[in-house]
Amino acid sequence: MKKLFKFFLVFFKIGAFTFGGGLAMLPLIEREIVDSNGWMTKDEFIDSIAVIQCMPGVIAVNTAIYLGYNLFGFWGTIFGALGSVLPSFVIMIVAAEFFLTFRDYPVVQAIFKGIRPAIAVLIFSAAVRLGKVVEKTPYNIILAVGSMAAISLLNIHPIIVIIAAALIGITARRGHTQNENAD
């Protein structure tokens, strides 16, 4: 039980004081798991990270769960997951409480009034960068404009639009492949 709690504290500490996402945490996790505690060899850790990179999801949580299971079984997954998630959860609860308490203050409203346009520009900038790599064919332009209209004007949920666009892409690809085979 002592090792499980120590494992929990490793991920809690790293989750609370590391910024930059899961990849930024990996050297700290390695130092704790391999160097400080000797729970794994460096080669075992590197092999684990290779497997973890293939998993969908948040790398820090995946790492905590995978290493927890490999080191301590079922309870390792629980302690690792809680250790990696609790710091963010607590910070979000505190931030939400702070926001609810102070949201009506003129200073807070002014801050958000200034942040909104900046966020809109960041989103627009990302869309422009992504748009530069998309081939400018009539098909892609129609799909992009149709998707934007569906989301913005018709208020269709973005996930439905993404699924519909994927189905259109599959259908168009099948039609293109059949035309190639007919030639």
The rounded distance, in Å, linking the Cα atoms of 167 and 174 is: 11
Give the model's pLDDT for residue 140: 87
Write out the two tokens for 108. Answer: 């807070």
- Long-range Cβ contact pairs of 136-142 (< 8 A, separation 24 or more): 139/172
Chain mean pLDDT for the chain: 86
Give the model's pLDDT for residue 177: 60
The contacts of residue 48 (CB under 8 Å, 6+ apart) are 40, 63, 66, 67, 70
Confidence class for position 181, pLDDT limits 50, 70, 90? low
| pLDDT tens column, 133-161 | 778 888 888 998 999 999 999 999 999 99
The rounded distance, in Å, linking the Cα atoms of 153 and 104 is: 31
Give the model's pLDDT for residue 180: 60
113's torsion region: left (phi>0), alpha (psi -120 to 50) or beta?
Answer: alpha
Give the model's pLDDT for residue 131: 78
| pLDDT tens column, 65-84 | 999 999 999 999 999 999 99
Give the model's pLDDT for residue 118: 83
- Going from N- to C-terminal start, the domains of the chain cover 2-98, 106-133, 134-183
Give the model's pLDDT for residue 16: 85
